[in-house]
Amino acid sequence: MKHSSFFWFVLPSTLLMLAFIAFPIVSVVTQSFYTAHEQVVVQVENCGPFGCTQETSVDQEATAALREAEPMGEFAGFEIYTDRNHLAFGEVAAAWVNADGLPDFGRSLMNLPFYKALAFTLTYTAVVTPLTIILGFFIAIAVNSVARAMKGPTIFFSLLPMIVTPLVGSLILFWMVDARGILGAGLQWLTDDPNLSVKASTGLMWIMLMVYGVWHAAPFAFVVFYAGLQTVNTDTLESAMVDGATRWERIRFVVLPHLFPLVTFVALIQLMDNFRVFEPIVSFQASAHATSLSYAIYNDLGGETRLLSSAAATSVLTIIGIAILLSPVLVRTWRDFDRK
């Protein structure tokens, strides 16, 4: 391809990527290095239907002048990244020095919001990603062997969890695991413990969030693998059958090697998706037991006073986290490409 035609060919997508991906990231990174101005507060008397009280208020004229002088706010460098609500270098160092053994250090670490969120996010990603791939693969194999007439409806029902909006899907599960819901009551009956409550226990809440994650994402893996199954060479399969290979052996030695590049693809997408787990935590009202990096960003922006810089810093840390997580897969893809 000529350089000029290549240029014109990629120009629209480059512009869109710059506008919708690159610039927002630049803006978020910039925001994370600035804090608000030192606030000028004044004592004022506030009056209303319940009488008057002495309170403080932001002095607008003084603040307007400060804003005029430095519209971005005060430059803070890495101050927000290292404060207690993020990487908490000072607190981690103190915990290390004062810790009575590693478990104690772990407990202190889990008391810091960023590490607490990171711990759940990583556990969720590490558990949900492989389970999604395995479950999706087995659904695909099963659906592929269903009679032709039944295939359409089976595929439709297998895709439902992905079609249902995450917020609605998790709300449905949330009601089902309620102590008076069908799953919650069932669990109480199974364990013979009338006081068992999924929503009150951190461990069960984590399990429920992960079960939801697998349930919601498995159809995606299923669709990809199912498409891949349609391209398996039937000649190879038939000759394996002639050679006397069992069904399992055919899957193990013919189908799996054929689908392996797709596993990399699904893993890549799922790692990114699971690392930014968010909706189930909101729907399950699980923030007392589990928080994720995305939830931390939402929490910063959802309060009465928006913490823009704090949310920006957490966003940048999330991007870095995803980059680290994806690097093995990306390196692998690059090597494969290089070999060719």
Partner 1 sequence: MNIILKTTAAACALIAAASAATAECSIDGGRVNIIGNEFPAIQTVAAAAAECTGVTVEANLTADHQTLNVAGMSGNPAEYTSAIVANSSIVALINEDVIRPLDELVAEYGKDIPQRQLITVGGKVMAVAFMANAQTLTYRADVLEEVGLDVPTTYEEVLVAAEAIRAAGIMENPVGGPYAAGWNLAQEFNNMYLGHGGEFFEPGTAKISINNEKGVATLEMMKALTEYMNPDYLTHDSNGTSAEWEAGNVALMHMWGSRAQVLMDDEGSEPQVYENTKVAAPLMVGDSGVPASTLWWDGWTVAKNISDEDAAATFQALAYAVSPQTLNDTTMNQAVWLIDGYEPAPVSEGVLAAVASGTKPYPMLPYMGLLHTASGDNIADFLTGKESAEQTLADIEAAYNAAAKEQGYIQ
Contacts with partner 1 by CB under 8 A lie at 35-39, 41-51, 53-58, 60, 63-64, 74, 76, 80, 83-85, 91, 111, 113, 178-179, 195, 197, 199-200, 202, 284-289, 299, 301-307, 309-310
**And the tokens for 220?**
């995606």
Output 179 or 269, the one with its CB closest to partner 1: 179
Burial category of 198 from C-beta neighbours within 10 Å (exposed 0-12, middle 13-18, buried 19 and up): buried
Output 292 or 299, the one with its CB closest to partner 1: 299
**And the tokens for 229?**
């199954």
Output 207 or 227, the one with its CB closest to partner 1: 207
Q: Nearest approach, Cβ of 273 to partner 1 (angstroms)? A: 24
Handedness of CA 96, 102, 104, 106 (dihedral sign): positive
Output 67 or 258, the one with its CB closest to partner 1: 67
Q: Nearest approach, Cβ of 79 to partner 1 (angstroms)? A: 8
- Report the 10 Å Cβ neighbour count for 110: 13
Query: SS3 string of 185-247?
Result: HHHHHHHCCCCCCHHHCHHHHHHHHHHHHHHHHHHHHHHHHHHHHCCCCHHHHHHHHHCCCCH
Q: Nearest approach, Cβ of 21 to partner 1 (angstroms)? A: 22
Which residue reads 């014109």 in tokens? 8
Output 13 or 195, the one with its CB closest to partner 1: 195
Q: Nearest approach, Cβ of 289 to partner 1 (angstroms)? A: 8
Q: Nearest approach, Cβ of 263 to partner 1 (angstroms)? A: 37
- Gap between the Cα atoms of 242 and 196, Å rounded: 54
